[in-house]
Chains A and B, each alone.
Chain A
């Protein structure tokens, strides 16, 4: 209705695309859904481990494929992913909320335009530009690049998640005497959670993948293992690195998917 004091926001501009990866279906994952991915990852990981064990490793291979080094690189990788995703969450969700308030209608194309640039530039190029801008290598500039690169999915999904809440519900809630803040906290955000989490999942996957490039900018991570394997022409190193990176991506995606199901409000 024309005059309801509820957030009315223009459609997200089409170049921002549709929201990604929204979960549909039941909230209670079946046993297969619970266990499928962990079992798959364990099998692949185990197979890789025994394959590497069964090989005669030369001095280069034994130097790279140590437990300490792999654990350190994995932790670096997880830190890059976690810190950048948390920063993106802290930025994009409040920004998405702001942009769906009626007063901010004019700012929507501008902000989405900037976020689109972040994602539009090739990731390697983006990291390079950020390195040039920062003037030094290491953890911080890489996290900065990852944030710029994965801002859009969460921002876009937050906005779409809030926009798709039935305006009738907002009207009914306002009509019962809920203040705009209460409507946001008790109606809009809970109902947007599945879509927002889908955005978080996309951002996590992007970050796990892109963090592989961190090794070129002094931030370490599993990219070190992969590129060592390529440079030194050692399949055992390359395969170990690839299995670790893709396993990590699949695991993170699985965890985010399950979290989405458990955190989504019941009754939808």
Chain B
């Protein structure tokens, strides 16, 4: 670091996060004529490849804080350090070309085609024509939009979700190491938002950008963030930690209030089925087996029903002893096997499915639909218990080894 000693970091998984890419040092913004600073000595460090979410109620200064980083708002005092370089002074336009920027409702230029919109920054930084158009096609492809179909359309000819994808593509166009996203999925209907969030997380696994993400929605913060900074007034950091730790050990009443009721339910969004250690194993049969053999196996288990798979090992029917005794076409007896979830689904998805299922459990299937296992209520409860124990143990260890509690962490931002 070139300047001021950065804040001592107490972030738990500092080692895992790798080197710091963005460092905010005591960043402050006073607007003329206002008695209080809008952002008051905000210090934050963001590791390379991390998504850090700034979350807080309206008016807490989170958007202002973000706009201080690319100097759309010039800070009154403090420093912005990007990749070891102090960028607080110098040409702000040059700085902004190195930082991707996505805002709510995209800000796509309506009089420019999709390709021209995406090409904005590459052209500014002087890429050649061929390279630009290659990049445009590549990005549209990454966004799941056929370049030939969409390249020469205008923004108004796209749906809200597609526009937002183009907004993200435009921000990534010149391959900036850092991206700022200001409530990017805020103005989109819940179903599309969910899909865009998932797409973006999948994309992030490939592109590994360093992202600062602003939202007022704690659920979105939990879902998107590697780390979350919960902000109170004037961008004071109430807690800066991983989603798991914030949910399990909120620093104070403010954070607990902000998380709101149902923290345990929210935690279910954090683990995925593939991370479960135990999945239950229902008795399995195949549609072409003899009913007598199936009966024997079901009788030997402590389950009241058996899952029958088709020739491609896809779940087909749930059958009871009674169904099997009555006989008939096995693909018709019993109940249809529903509530299928894939391994990357969250426990929350699984819980939702199993509540509405007819067997009281969700069936885990691979991408091709083949049976993998069963998730029932007990599996989920066991997982929640383990999570809670792990985090409590972790926090206990933190406090004893560093002698640092939440209170001091929360003061850092001031």
Contacts and interface: CB of A to CB of B under 8 A. Distances in A.
B61 to A, nearest CB: 11
Contact of A168 (B38, B93, B105): B105
B106 A172 contact: yes
A175 B70 contact: yes
A105 interface: no
A5 B72 contact: yes
Contact of B155 (A177, A187, A267): A267
A176 B111 contact: no
A265 interface: yes
Nearest to A179: B93
A175 B154 contact: no
A171 interface: yes
B279 interface: no
B124 A267 contact: no
Interface residues of B, number: 35
A265 B101 CA distance: 25
B31 interface: yes
B113 A3 contact: no
B156 A267 contact: yes
B124 A177 contact: yes
B64 interface: yes
A109 interface: no
Contacts of B110: 169, 191, 265, 267-268
Given A2-B31, A168-B107, A190-B111, A176 B154 contact: no
The DSSP consensus for interface residues of chain A is loop
Given A171-B72, A266-B111, A267-B156, A177 B97 contact: yes
B73 interface: yes
A26 to B, nearest CB: 13
A171 B102 CA distance: 10
Contacts of B31: 2-3
B357 interface: no
Contacts of A177: 93-97, 121, 124
A78 interface: no
Contact of A1 (B67, B113, B170): B67
Contacts of B108: 172
A168 B103 contact: yes
B112 interface: yes
B69 to A, nearest CB: 10
Contacts of B104: 168
Nearest to B170: A176
Interface string A17-59: 0000000000000000000000000000000000000000000
B111 A265 contact: yes
A123 interface: no
A79 interface: no
Interface string B65-77: 0010010111000
A103 B93 CA distance: 20
A178 interface: yes
B248 interface: no
A172 B101 contact: yes
Interface string A152-186: 00000000000000101101111111110000001
B78 to A, nearest CB: 15
Interface in B123-168: 124, 154-156
A174 B95 CA distance: 11
A4 interface: yes
A171 B170 CA distance: 14
A3 B94 contact: no
A171 B107 contact: yes
B120 interface: yes
A173 B63 CA distance: 17
Given A175-B101, A176-B124, A267 B111 contact: yes
13 contacts: A1-B67, A2-B31, A3-B73, A4-B72, A172-B106, A173-B120, A175-B96, A175-B103, A176-B124, A177-B121, A178-B120, A186-B109, A267-B154
Given A177-B95, A268-B110, 14 more contacts: A1-B72, A4-B72, A171-B103, A172-B101, A172-B106, A172-B108, A173-B120, A174-B72, A175-B96, A175-B101, A176-B120, A187-B109, A267-B111, A267-B112
